[in-house]
Structure 1
Amino acid sequence: MATGAAPLWFTSLAGLGAAYLTVVFLRLLPYLALYLRRPKDLRRCYGEWAVVTGPTTGLGRSMAMELARRGFNLVLLDLDRDNLREVSEAIREAHAGAVATRTVVFDLSTVGTGAGEEGMRRLREAVDGVEVGMLVNNAAVARPGALYFHEADVERLVAMIRVNAMALTAVTAAVLPAMARRGRGAIVNVGSGSTVAVPSFPLYTVYSSSKRYVEQLSKSLYVEYKGKGIDVQLQVPFYVHTNMLSAAIKDRMLLPAFVATAGDYTRAAARWVGHGHIAVPDAGQQLQWFLAAFVPDFAHDWYRLRKHLQHRAILWNLI
């Protein structure tokens, strides 16, 4: 029996499917290429010291440990003196004293106040006389969250903006001039999937808005300083096993396959430094980002509001 040509609708769908798979492959190809190459020697490329903000828990602690493993000496900045002492001792013990650490007690929510000026003075003293090759702006505040805007305490919202946007700007301004004079360095700003993967992030509005600022700042600094030997990169975690979300929400609302461990994430993140102005280091999360682009904005908005109202119900039931 003779067979005719395939129907037009079938050919069109096959073509779309092939194009889709090609785009997925091209999107993931940089990950494959990066992991096939020998990792960059970050300390040799950028300098001997790294500054990490918020290094006592979660991604910040994991990144500090990863950079120490890669040979960096560390300036650790956090608001809690005891936690800083603990992570500093853990790093030195893990590397038999081969990694030097300095600590800076600095409550980043005080930036722009008299107390913030004192914290900036301590930071400038800590980096004086050392070659800061990398800055990791990790410190961030996500709470209060899962609340309508009118329900949140405005002072806590302002403190969130101070930490997530103002402090990041001030710390960057403290270390960037020396990098520019030397003609080398790297600045890694930790962003959020709430700004790159979805059009809105209701009930966490101020958090996502502050991270949008970080995204724009990072892109503009990348353009400004790429020609001066300084790599500025926005790194975007989606859901990671940290304390940014409550245990109840993580246990009841998130699929384990979509949540990276802090260790896995930061190992991938370190490999991505210097490769482009934006990176979603975890390959599984990169795939999530790609697939999210095919969902219409109205569907994202509906789904996010529904999910975050569920977050709100969980948190209120715990009170």
Structure 2
Amino acid sequence: MKSLLEVFFTSLGGAVVVYYGVKLLLVTKMLYPKMWFPLPKSFFSSMGEWAVVTGASEGIGREYAFALAEQGMNVVIMSRTKATLEQLAKEIGEATSRTVKVLVADFTEDKVFGDIEEQLKDLNIGVLVNNVGMLPSNVPKRFLEDTDLDQMCKTLLPGMENRGKGVIINVSSGIACIPFPMYSLYAASKIFVERFSQGLQAEYKEKGMLIQAVTPFGVSTRMIGYQATDMVTLSPRDFVKSSLQYLRAGDRTYGSICHMFLGWLIRSTPRKILYADSVLNGLQEYVEKKQAKTRSISTLSVA
């Protein structure tokens, strides 16, 4: 008869194998999102006739607007820059034949949401992409500020709830996976976006809503100085295309395999190493050099 100790260690070993087997299965699911999280071709258009994208004039917001129009939705695009929005509306209309409504909105003004609600009240809105966000400095600093607004959810949720369906994508950031030095306040504000989004999903999931926080790391936009794309820094189009494949993967996603592994690596690295002055200074120098290289290439291209 086996001793109690043998039974204990056998059971423990079995539990460890099962635990890591499940972990491996979850990783496998992330590698094949089209197989594990399929979306019907008419999924987005079935949510409603219109999609709303904030911060849509460039970068990630622009690509979400294009992607949703390509999925058969009419799109409301918002930002502060009217000329850029009108040009984007023209491009989306010509490429997809969908209707695009331009709405100039400065989200730093208190009265902006009343104006937005008035202009959207008659639209059947099925998808909201909350992409408004500002990074005050392209290069990491010791003190950063960021403002993220959640009033768009408050404006559009009631209509989605009444119809019993809708999609809200809240764009957070991968650096919110840990307390992140050099981006302290920015990372803190983004964890708010993530937790807020997850809380909403818990509240409204049973009412047919799909609310997800998307948490990318590097995406080549103006926010990070249009850094050159590579395995980690994705183009906005590639990131949005990838992230939409994970729409049914849960209430939070990195949006791409490479960013998922980067998040795992950061979370697995001892904080004493991540927070060492040499590492923080190295991060700052790396970003500065990468942006200088990008500017140099741009200058040569213009010349």
TM over 0.5: yes
Paired position in structure 2 for 1:12: none
Superposition deviation, residue 91 in structure 1: 0.4
Q: Structure 1 stretch 202-211 or stretch 213-222: which is displaced more? A: 202-211
Superposition deviation, residue 23 in structure 1: 6.5
Q: Of residues 212, 218, 223 in structure 2, which corresponds to 1:239?
A: 218
Superposition deviation, residue 185 in structure 1: 0.6
Equivalent AA in structure 2 for residue 180 of structure 1: E
Does the CA-based 8 Å contact 2:65-2:75 persist in structure 1? Answer: yes
The yes-or-no answer on 1:182 pairing with 2:163 is yes
Superposition deviation, residue 146 in structure 1: 2.3
Q: In 2 relative to 1, CA 316–129 (structure 1 residues): closer, same or farther, beyond 3 Å?
A: closer
The yes-or-no answer on 1:309 pairing with 2:288 is no
Paired position in structure 2 for 1:28: 27
- Structure 2: segments with no counterpart, 5+ residues: 1-13, 296-303
Equivalent AA in structure 1 for residue 240 of structure 2: T
Matches of 1:19 and 1:207, distance apart in 2: 38
Superposition deviation, residue 296 in structure 1: 1.4
Q: Secondary structure at the match of 1:195?
A: helix
Q: In 2 relative to 1, CA 69–313 (structure 1 residues): closer, same or farther, beyond 3 Å?
A: closer
Paired position in structure 1 for 2:299: none
Superposition deviation, residue 312 in structure 1: 7.8
Paired position in structure 1 for 2:240: 266
Equivalent AA in structure 2 for residue 210 of structure 1: S
State the TM-score, normalizing by the size of structure 1. 0.77
Superposition deviation, residue 300 in structure 1: 2.2
Superposition deviation, residue 175 in structure 1: 0.5
Does the CA-based 8 Å contact 1:28-1:283 persist in structure 2? Answer: no
Q: Secondary structure at the match of 2:224?
A: coil
- Structure 1: segments with no counterpart, 5+ residues: 1-14
Q: Which runs of 4+ in 1 moved over 6 A?
A: 18-21, 315-318
The yes-or-no answer on 1:294 pairing with 2:268 is yes
Paired position in structure 2 for 1:10: none
Q: Secondary structure at the match of 1:71?
A: coil
Taking only aligned residues, the RMSD between alpha carbons, in angstroms, comes to 2.8
Q: In 2 relative to 1, CA 312–106 (structure 1 residues): closer, same or farther, beyond 3 Å?
A: same
1:188-244 per-residue CA deviation (whole Å, 9 max, x = no partner) reads 001101112xx2322222211111110110111111111111111001111112122
Which structure is richer in relative contact order (CA contacts within 8 A, separation 6 or more)?
A: 1
Does the CA-based 8 Å contact 1:55-1:76 persist in structure 2? Answer: yes
Matches of 1:46 and 1:139, distance apart in 2: 22
Does the CA-based 8 Å contact 1:233-1:276 persist in structure 2? Answer: yes
Q: Secondary structure at the match of 1:55?
A: coil
Paired position in structure 1 for 2:47: 46
1:42-93 per-residue CA deviation (whole Å, 9 max, x = no partner) reads 3244212110011111111111111110011101110011111011111001
Does the CA-based 8 Å contact 1:58-1:243 persist in structure 2? Answer: yes
Q: Secondary structure at the match of 2:221?
A: coil
Does the CA-based 8 Å contact 2:179-2:188 persist in structure 1? Answer: no
Superposition deviation, residue 293 in structure 1: 3.1
The yes-or-no answer on 1:278 pairing with 2:252 is yes
Paired position in structure 2 for 1:7: none
Equivalent AA in structure 2 for residue 191 of structure 1: S
Q: In 2 relative to 1, CA 313–103 (structure 1 residues): closer, same or farther, beyond 3 Å?
A: closer
Q: In 2 relative to 1, CA 28–70 (structure 1 residues): closer, same or farther, beyond 3 Å?
A: same
Aligned pairs for 1:68-79 within 5 A: 68-79=69-80
Q: In 2 relative to 1, CA 295–316 (structure 1 residues): closer, same or farther, beyond 3 Å?
A: closer
Superposition deviation, residue 32 in structure 1: 4.1
Equivalent AA in structure 1 for residue 105 of structure 2: F
Does the CA-based 8 Å contact 1:102-1:126 persist in structure 2? Answer: no
Does the CA-based 8 Å contact 2:169-2:211 persist in structure 1? Answer: yes
Q: In 2 relative to 1, CA 285–295 (structure 1 residues): closer, same or farther, beyond 3 Å?
A: same
Q: In 2 relative to 1, CA 101–125 (structure 1 residues): closer, same or farther, beyond 3 Å?
A: farther
Does the CA-based 8 Å contact 1:186-1:274 persist in structure 2? Answer: no
Superposition deviation, residue 33 in structure 1: 4.4
Equivalent AA in structure 2 for residue 62 of structure 1: E
Does the CA-based 8 Å contact 1:202-1:305 persist in structure 2? Answer: yes
Q: Secondary structure at the match of 1:258?
A: coil
State the TM-score, normalizing by the size of structure 2. 0.81
Count of equivalent residues: 275
Equivalent AA in structure 1 for residue 280 of structure 2: L
Matches of 1:23 and 1:274, distance apart in 2: 19
Paired position in structure 1 for 2:300: none
Paired position in structure 1 for 2:11: none
Superposition deviation, residue 25 in structure 1: 3.4
Aligned pairs for 1:98-137 within 5 A: 99-110=98-109, 112=110, 117=111, 119-137=112-130
Paired position in structure 2 for 1:226: 205
